[in-house]
Amino acid sequence: MAYPDSIEQFIEKLNKKHDDSTYVVEEKIELVDDKYEGLLKHDNINDISIKVYTGSKLTGIEIKNFIISVPNETPWKKSIKIFSNASPVYITYETQGDQVEAEDINILQDSITATQTEVDRYKNSNNAAVQSLDARLGTAEANKAEKVYVDTQLLLKADKSTTYTKTETDERIQLVIDAAPEALDTLKEIADALNNDPDFAATVTTELSKKVDKVQGKQLSTEDYTTTEKSKLAGIAEGANKYKLPDELSPDIIKQDDRNRFVSDVEKANWNDANTRKHDHSNKSVIDKITQALVDSWNSAVLHLSDSVRHITSVERSLWNTVTNKVDKVTGKGLSTEDYSTAEKNKLAGLENYEHPSEHSATMITEDSNHKFVTEAEKTNWNSKASGNHNHDLSYEPKNSNIQNHIANRSNPHTVSKADVGLGNVDNTSDLDKPISTATQSALNHYVTQNQLSTAGYGDMLKSVYDKNNNGKVDSAESADSVLWSGVSGKPSVYTPSTHTHDISAINGLQTGLDFKVNYSGTGNGFSDRTNLAVGWYTIAVNSGTRAVARFALRDINSGDHQSVVFYASHHFGSHSDITILHHSRFGGSPFKYIRIKECGTYDGAALQVYIDDNTNCVSAYLLGDNFQASGWVMKDFVPNAIDPGGIANYSALINEAVKMDLDLILGGIATSGELYSNTNKVWHAGNLNPSQYLKKGTITWNQIKGV
């Protein structure tokens, strides 16, 4: 974002050194989505010196997956494209110094112009603000009040020393309510909270008497702990015994205290006598008045009859404050040391002596596809079968040598007679003496025999006459074969061929020959060069469902890219697909990023696709040849992956990515999704890609060479 939205940042230029030495520069780069692409900050960079590491000053892990390109119009600059899942990364390189170009001057001029524009804008804005302040000051001076009027009005105001401020008033009210909660900060709210009970102290005391004091380490039980359960647990507990209280107990075992004493018959007699001596006082009315007076005095001390607020003693307050530590009393129950939960109650109720049976009936087992019962008859039948790896080589033809010898025997080893084979009535007559059928004889009677010709003669039609060399061709015709064109008389001077057409199928071998020809027109297999295709996968060829193998080419002629790829692609019945890259080169960028084959079932077919990684492109695809299999590859015009390209029975079923090649990793080299062999020895396959088995690119040390 340019000034004034942000401060312009200029890269310091490096002058060329007088001793022709170089600068070593390090740039810190943040990657987005595991990728970075941009120009390096300085010019005239030595390509060989460019290194990328995950740490500063050539530390951390070296990253080799990057591409260097040169802009067409500024060849002194370098553009870099880095692929890594680490961020940030550090680029280190050497340069002899920067080159000042017109664009640098233009950027500086634009920045100066933007600064001048912003200064002028600020100057105009500031002048307007000063003029506005001057106008407002003039208005204030014109409208200010006279001192005499202000003093007179001030005398009408209350004196601060004798008047409470709002803050002071709030403080006084706060002292009255003593920081009470909002719901109880008025006298009416307090009275409502007490339910207008004139004797609230007695009511609270009565309610508290119904509560049980809390005991440290004890709490309420989740479930009622019944006597039956207590007895049941007591019988289960370790060390329990069944003790029974005797029918009679001696008084000596009872421990007496101040409140529990035995009395004698004499004492009981004296007390009964005192009861008979009870009487009424004649001054009971006086005693009652004294008692009532005392009660009234106490009530007057604790109750303000004219107030709605009742005062309580400190003892009552302390007692009421313990109400949160109380629980309701229940006759016959107290606090439990441990919480007795519903789960424990259910667990106890479900306890029983379970004895696991020694055997289970087979009907208890539920069979599935992997676990089936078999009968004894089935086992017997299966065990009687031959093992899975047996053969009949020595018992049956063609491996048994006795059978082979018997087949070769032509001397009738079984002494079969003609009667055995239904030819008992056949005579062993020679061919010349065999009779012919009546029909054949009737047909022969129409021909003249040599004897019947007698002296008629045979003319010159005897074979011994017209084919003396007995080669099956008339001798005169053989002479005609050697006649020169000039010796032919009566021939026309000009031959005009008749106009006619032929289908390809009418010419033997033409279609087969065409299938082996290079299918290249220079414009994408008959399609125009596709420009600026969006980033994504595109189908360039399909196979209908059987076999296909062919040689393809990809090219991009966009300025700055100029990418070329030659490769083979094959597919065989849904499970055997391969790609072999024969060549990959480029000038700068690489719009073609990946090549893959999508497939599914045996007869579902396949789609050959390419991935476009740069939406600035001019791409083509060609089928170069070797498309000789039964159904083969059929070219498609860069059909987006989401669209059915046609030529496949069920394109949506192609969900398996059978093989995929990354072109960025194969620059200038050869790669295959299969394996490489030298003679009969496998020299490469996907399982031997262990980096520790190979030398690293670049400088190696003595210790990196195995065996030293």
Q: What pLDDT is recorded for position 460?
A: 56
Name the most confidently modeled range: 391-400, 477-486, 652-661, 678-687: 652-661
Averaged pLDDT for residues 331-344: 71
Residue 403: is its pLDDT beyond 80? no
Residue 568 — pLDDT band, cuts 50, 70, 90? very high
For residues 520 and 110, the model is more confident at 110
Determine which helix (DSSP H) or strand (DSSP E) holds 55, and give its type and residue range.
strand 51-55
Residue 381: is its pLDDT beyond 70? no
Averaged pLDDT for residues 367-378: 70
Q: What pLDDT is recorded for position 523?
A: 35
Q: What pLDDT is recorded for position 320?
A: 67
Residue 84: is its pLDDT beyond 50? yes
CB-based contact 82:89 (threshold 8 Å):
yes
The residue among 58, 112, 312, 127 whose CA lies nearest residue 205 is 312
- Show the tokens assigned to 426: 């056949």
Q: Can you tell me whether residue 538 is helix, strand or coil? A: strand
CB-based contact 527:541 (threshold 8 Å):
no
For residues 157 and 61, the model is more confident at 61
Q: What pLDDT is recorded for position 564?
A: 92
For residues 285 and 483, the model is more confident at 483
Instruction: Name the least confident of 89-103, 201-215, 328-342, 513-527.
Output: 513-527
Hey, how many other C-beta atoms are within 10 angstroms of the C-beta on 74?
Answer: 14
Residue 30: is its pLDDT beyond 90? yes
Residue 518 — pLDDT band, cuts 50, 70, 90? very low
Phi, psi of 456 (to 5 degrees): -65, -25
For residues 307 and 236, the model is more confident at 236
Residue-by-residue DSSP string for 553-564? EEEE--TTT-EE
Averaged pLDDT for residues 679-698: 58
The residue among 506, 537, 565, 525 whose CA lies nearest residue 641 is 537
Q: What pLDDT is recorded for position 607?
A: 94
Average per-residue pLDDT for the chain: 76
Residue 707: is its pLDDT beyond 80? no
What's the rounded Cα separation, in Å, for the pair 418 and 425? 9
Residue 455: is its pLDDT beyond 60? no
Q: What pLDDT is recorded for position 601?
A: 83
Averaged pLDDT for residues 422-435: 69
CB-based contact 553:540 (threshold 8 Å):
no
Averaged pLDDT for residues 80-91: 93
Averaged pLDDT for residues 490-516: 71
Q: What pLDDT is recorded for position 451?
A: 65
Model pLDDT for residues 32-59, shown as the tens digit of each residue:
999 999 999 899 999 899 999 999 999 9
Averaged pLDDT for residues 547-566: 91
Q: What pLDDT is recorded for position 525?
A: 46
For residues 299 and 106, the model is more confident at 106
% of the chain surpassing 90 pLDDT: 21
For residues 410 and 65, the model is more confident at 65
Residue 220 — pLDDT band, cuts 50, 70, 90? confident
Q: What pLDDT is recorded for position 312?
A: 67
Q: What pLDDT is recorded for position 623?
A: 93
Q: What pLDDT is recorded for position 516?
A: 47
Averaged pLDDT for residues 324-353: 70
Model pLDDT for residues 169-209, shown as the tens digit of each residue:
877 777 777 667 777 777 777 778 778 888 877 888 888 77
Residue 654: is its pLDDT beyond 60? yes
Residue 542: is its pLDDT beyond 90? yes
pTM: 0.30
Q: What stretches of 200-244 adopt beta strand conformation (E)?
A: 211-213
Q: What pLDDT is recorded for position 567?
A: 94
Averaged pLDDT for residues 9-23: 85
CB-based contact 82:29 (threshold 8 Å):
yes
What's the rounded Cα separation, in Å, for the pair 227 and 244? 17
Residue 520 — pLDDT band, cuts 50, 70, 90? very low
Model pLDDT for residues 629-641, shown as the tens digit of each residue:
878 999 999 999 9
